[in-house]
Structure 1
Amino acid sequence: MAYRLLSGLLITLIFSISSWAEEIPLNLSHPDQYTVLKGDTLWNIAGKFLNHPWQWPELWRHNNQIENPNLIYPGDTIYFSVVNGKPQLSLARNEQPQLPAGSPCILKEEDIKNGRTDFAVSENGKLLPCIREITGKQAIKLVPAEAIAKYLTSPKVVGKNELDTAPYVIGFAGEHLIAGTGDKIYVRSITRPKSLSYTIYRAGDTYVSPVSGEILGYEAKYIADSTLQQAGDPATLAVTKSGSEIVIGDRIMVNSEEDVALNYFPRPPAHNIKGNIISVLGGVSQIGQYNVVVIDKGTADGLLPGHELDIYKRGNIVSDAYSAVKTDAVRLPDEIAGTLMVFRPFERISYALIMKAGQAIHVLDKVQIP
């Protein structure tokens, strides 16, 4: 699960407090303690203590007296301290009140899973009432999963030939002009099917490098899911789920199971990467925290799920009225505007989640290694 950020990543710290200031910069306004609230993510909690939340494990002190210390729950308290010249973070668990000791029967969740059969009975052999104990707390997640869930499998990025050569919708059963869930569609041509499960796509944006003008990929927008009923030319498919109305010309691709990363461990890329935000998904015009953007770097550039990049707002070009050169202009320095995390890289572009936005973010803003 995504919230298992800390597991197996503890590091023995050997630097002095002055070295830490350079190696792991602390948030100058960090609190001495913070109590976790419902809706928090591990990322935003780490940001309260650190300039770079991905360095959290290096300050984490494992408390062996706490069951599952890698999981953090609402109500738990994180403490900041300096021990032997080294800053560290530790956890105090918010224990739930215990049920009365005199309760005749306490039925735990694991008892139900294990098929418990022994229960308390009265003197005359009647079954006594049982108190069912339910653990309602859920551990906080690393990132807000709901912000990226719909982008984990669709849309996707393909090459031009993948769309142009894919089978396409040629007609509908029942003389419909469009189709949706429950309808039958006719497709050219699926004569040698490789699967019974197909996804219907429509051509979307063309992603272009703002530097070279080169085409980096094509967006395939998700339209619907379908199952093959009869192969042929045309083939017959039944629509099982639709996100939009299906029209003539929509393309069909095998519904292949992609490897979707859910266990994100934010960290910087291993080598220098500089790129640009080239698009924003979700139909939004203003880019802010937890929006999903497209950047012009991908697996071919070494990007992997979890890689963190800083976002820089491009400096404006201003006229210099005092320069000896009549038409002189100066580009102002780029300013850091936020942080993003790659969660779904393709070959030459990637989908990334805006984790932090200190100011307005725009298409064509730069991204680079922290």
Structure 2
Amino acid sequence: MSYLNNKLIGVISGLLLSFSALAAQHVALNPSHPERYTVVKGDTLWDISSMFLRDPWLWPEVWYVNPQIANPHLIYPGDEIVLTYRDGQPVLQLSRKNSLSPRVRATPLDQAIPTIPIDAIAPFLTRPYVVDENELEKAPYIVHFLDDHIVGGAGISYYARSIMEERPIQYAVVRPEKPYKDPDTGEILGYEALYVGTSELKRTGDPAKLLLTSSDMEAIIGDRLIKEQEDEPLIDFQPRVPENPIEGRIISVLNGVTQIGQYNVVVLNKGANVGLEAGHVLRILQGGEAIRDIVKGRGETVTLPLEEAGHLMVFRTFEKVSFALVMDATKPLHVLDWVRTPGS
């Protein structure tokens, strides 16, 4: 069994906790919940739990593990989710035809439905999209292309300032773009790193020699080289509420879209430095601005309350910023909308 398959079973097993973990807190049902639902290809655990629960990240609180079912922590297309009650509390459990058959046990793990739509975030899981100022200053950079090339694409060799280590062999080529700034303090939290391509180290030195093995755009002199991530990216997530209250803002949206809605990727002005982790769920709030009271006049203002507008889930953290996927939105979202821990 591969590393990723082992990891997938471990993550989803952690997500779908046993019925004994049912907490004293009341889990509210979605008012329009079904009594049962048959899983189809393309579903996610978040989608299904949203059908049954008001707060889909509380799925583990009501999941009952049936020990008679092979791989009861994994859910496949064709499985049926059934809502029942125990001691007055809602319980969701899995119904699977031929649950003891060898065919079911042989079902590939990668056919199990994911927690969230992985395709929406796959490009953002491994590439170095955020770099800090110190990392930029220390990073090697392109100084010359071989064979009189002015710019570089896949298959072009070049020289870069100073790489003295033989490992790693692979480097991401990035172009520093706009700074990510905290909208309240003005602090620079990091720099957006535009992904240019991938390079392979051919010879160490100052200058070192490298080969562009792939490129999304033409490389230019001054582009930086960042060591590529060697660890396997997290491919599934355990949605949960942060242990500590967190308040932040949406400071950017990726992929060049202007209107923010479901399954858009946004950047938050909070990161690992305040305890944010992949899987943390935050609610999105709008409002809070001070408006002029034109009735009373004389410069008097009133601060509007914050109104809930959706939820997002953090899937990748950097030191001072995070990437998050908008899971649901009740109205159009905007840069500078607030995010907070649910319940706060």
Structure-1-length-normalised TM-score: 0.82
Q: Distance in 2 between matches of 1:108 and 1:264?
A: 27
SS of alignment partner, residue 45 of structure 1: helix
Q: How many matched pairs?
A: 333
- Letter aligned with residue 218 of structure 1: Y
Aligned pairs for 1:275-290 within 5 A: 275-290=248-263
Task: Tell me how far apart the structure 2 counterparts of residues 110 and 50 of structure 1 sit (CA, whole Å).
Answer: 29
- Superposed displacement of residue 262, structure 1: 2.5
**1:168 is aligned with what amino acid?**
Y
| 1:171 partner SS | strand
Q: Is the 8 A contact 2:33 2:52 kept in 1?
A: yes
Please, which of 294, 303, 306 is the counterpart of residue 334 of structure 1? 306
User: Which whole-Å CA distance do the structure 2 matches of 1:171 and 1:296 have between them?
Assistant: 36
The unaligned stretches of length 5 or more in structure 1 are 99-106, 112-133
Distance 1:110 1:230, change over 3 A: same
TM alignment of 1:53-92, pairs within 5 A: 53-92=56-95
Question: In structure 2, how many angstroms separate the alpha carbons of the residues matched to 1:78 and 1:42?
Answer: 11
What is the CA distance between 1:137 and its match in structure 2? Answer: 9.1
Aligned equivalents of 2:156 and 2:21: distance in 1? 62
Whether the 8 Å CA contact 2:70–2:105 is kept in 1: the answer is no
Aligned to 1:299: 272
Aligned counterparts of 1:108 and 1:95: Cα–Cα separation in 2: 8
2:234 to 232, 256, 261: 261
| SS of 2:305 mapped into structure 1 | coil
**Of 23, 35, 39, which residue of structure 2 is paired with 1:36?**
39
CA distance in 2, matches of 1:297, 1:94: 45
Deviates more, 1:212-221 or 1:6-15: 6-15
Q: Could you tell me whether the CA contact under 8 Å between 1:226 and 1:239 is conserved in 2?
A: yes
**CA RMSD for the aligned pairs?**
2.7
Matched, 1:221 2:175: no
The residue that corresponds to 2:4 in the other structure is: none
14 and 109 in structure 1: CA distance in 2 versus 1, 3 angstrom threshold: closer
Q: Which amino acid aligns with 2:65?
A: H
Do the aligned partners of residues 342 and 136 (structure 1) sit closer, same or farther apart at CA in structure 2, a change above 3 Å counting?
closer
Higher helix share: 2
Distance 1:89 1:322 in 2: 53
Tell me, yes or no, if the aligned pair for 1:224 and 1:243 is still in contact at 8 Å: yes
Task: Report the equivalent of 1:147.
Answer: 120
Q: 1:215 to 1:110 in 2, by over 3 A?
A: closer
Task: Please say if 1:369 is aligned against 2:332.
Answer: no
CA 1:363–1:136: 2 relative to 1, 3 Å? closer
Structure number with greater Rg is 1
Question: Could you say if the C-alpha distance between residues 109 and 308 of structure 1 is closer, same or farther in structure 2, counting changes exceeding 3 Å?
Answer: closer
Aligned residue for 2:160, secondary structure, equals: strand
> 2:149 maps to which residue?
176
Query: How much identity, in percent, do the aligned residues show?
Result: 45
Equivalent of residue 237 in structure 1, options 210, 216, 219: 210
| 1:156/1:91 CA distance change after superposition, 3 Å | same
Shift of 1:162: 1.4
In structure 1, distance between residues paired with 2:114 and 2:169: 35
Q: Classify the secondary structure of the residue corresponding to 1:31.
A: coil
Corresponding position of 2:18 = 10
- Matched position secondary structure for 2:205: coil
3-state SS, counterpart of residue 123 of structure 2: helix
Return 5+ residue gaps in structure 2 as ranges: 1-6
